[in-house]
Chain A
């Protein structure tokens, strides 16, 4: 795409701006900030990827993945700030998910061990796992509020913290995975995934693009399952103190 064409995309920002002003939505500042940030962040990432793809240094790749995990964990962990060490726990879940995913993809030779493959696939894996852990935390927060009586009834009957939390954790694991599987069912029919669209626009054969998209869909499904399961597993130590009282 030429610089001229890229600059012309500002027309869309203009439309948004015009609507906001005409309808007195008061969103002008948001639009400006959003436009500038998205452009800057994406350009920055583009240049970083350019450097990484050029150098192919494994440490550089690891650094990028670490940053991705840190940002994702910080972001998702923010949903349950009051739970001690929650961001660390999310980071751990994301790290395990990413490691398992990459071990399988690279170990079986499904993708090439080059930054061109590793980084985008990692980004998608971590990004979607971040959404899953965010959903999980939201749901657990709701559970510890709405099921407090239930948990206490279990504890009063001599249940361990693990036993008292198990029903809530199970519900939270399920509900954090459901959106991923729901979108698997309608993919291609309702929404054309961004990655596939991007590949096609950039000139790839649709069939080839679809094959990669299938890979991604399956990877994301397993990543969702691994993340949700790990978050559930760690919950037993996170949400209740030793005596069985919830932190939230």
Chain B
């Protein structure tokens, strides 16, 4: 399949030490329908990578292209409309839940697709949420889901999700995963998600990008990666996570 989004030698230096890489040059691609899980220890630059892909942050080296057109030939706003980042810490815009849901239609002068919004909200377990409520008064988990619906309504070609179920209970998490999967299937979009939950990564994604030691260490088929990672770092990482999973279940 033709790649949607291509990364050409994309690299970022550390924020506080400009001598060292946060991650060394990455060359990779995201194709239509891809499901990619970005995993790695805290502070490896996963969020930064996704923010660069959405052009909310500038890379220090390299460039990207979307639909075969280099990033400098895209208007940033047009790019972000197609490659949408959903933040790790969701931010509600001023106003009510409804105002937030209608943001996309307001920004782009499109009719508001109320049935779709209702549908997503229902799938995410927010069917009973009062849309007249001030968005700032929502709980963390509610905010995270409203932010997700906001992004889905944009209908991006590439949806970037940063720990999108981090503050959800297991029930809502399942709903959110299902919602994203169905949305991506019907709209033929690509999804790149960051997760610290290996089971979620395995459930949702077919490709894994493993970031460690300041680089994209492995980019592999998910089944193969989880069964037998190529690098020692990945083996250690998975072992630690398996241990965490067990202690959590006790």
| A residues in contact (CB < 8 Å) with B | 149-150, 152-161, 163, 167, 242-245
Q: Can you report 11 residue pairs joining A to B where beta carbons are below 8 Å apart?
A: A149-B89, A152-B56, A154-B93, A154-B107, A156-B54, A157-B150, A158-B80, A158-B84, A159-B107, A161-B76, A167-B94
Q: Are A156 and B84 in contact (CB under 8 A)?
A: yes
Q: Are A158 and B94 in contact (CB under 8 A)?
A: no
CA distance A242 to B71 in the complex (A): 13
Contact A156 B108, CB 8 Å, known A150-B93, A242-B76: no
Interface residue ranges of B79-98 to A (CB < 8 Å): 80-81, 84-87, 89, 91-94
CA distance A137 to B248 in the complex (A): 50
| B residues in contact (CB < 8 Å) with A | 54-58, 76-78, 80-81, 84-87, 89, 91-94, 103-104, 107-108, 147, 150-151, 154
B92 closest partner in A (C-beta): A153
Within the complex, the shortest CB–CB distance from A29 to chain B, in Å, comes to: 40
Q: Are B91 and A150 in contact (CB under 8 A)?
A: yes
CA distance A157 to B78 in the complex (A): 10
Q: Are A160 and B87 in contact (CB under 8 A)?
A: no
CA distance A181 to B84 in the complex (A): 42
Within the complex, the shortest CB–CB distance from A195 to chain B, in Å, comes to: 40
- 8 Å CB contact of B91 from A153, A161, A244: A153
Given A150-B91, A152-B87, A157-B80, 9 more contacts at CB 8 Å? A152-B56, A153-B93, A155-B80, A157-B151, A158-B154, A160-B77, A163-B107, A243-B76, A244-B56
Chain A residues, CB < 8 A from B87: 149, 152-153, 156
For the complex of A and B, the 10 pairs showing the least CB-CB separation, nearest first, are A158-B81, A149-B91, A153-B91, A160-B77, A156-B85, A243-B76, A158-B80, A159-B107, A157-B104, A158-B77
Contact A157 B58, CB 8 Å, known A150-B93, A152-B87, A244-B76: no
Within the complex, the shortest CB–CB distance from A139 to chain B, in Å, comes to: 16
Q: Are B107 and A157 in contact (CB under 8 A)?
A: yes
Chain B residues, CB < 8 A from A157: 80-81, 84, 103-104, 107, 150-151, 154
Within the complex, the shortest CB–CB distance from B53 to chain A, in Å, comes to: 11
B82 closest partner in A (C-beta): A158
Q: Are A158 and B86 in contact (CB under 8 A)?
A: no
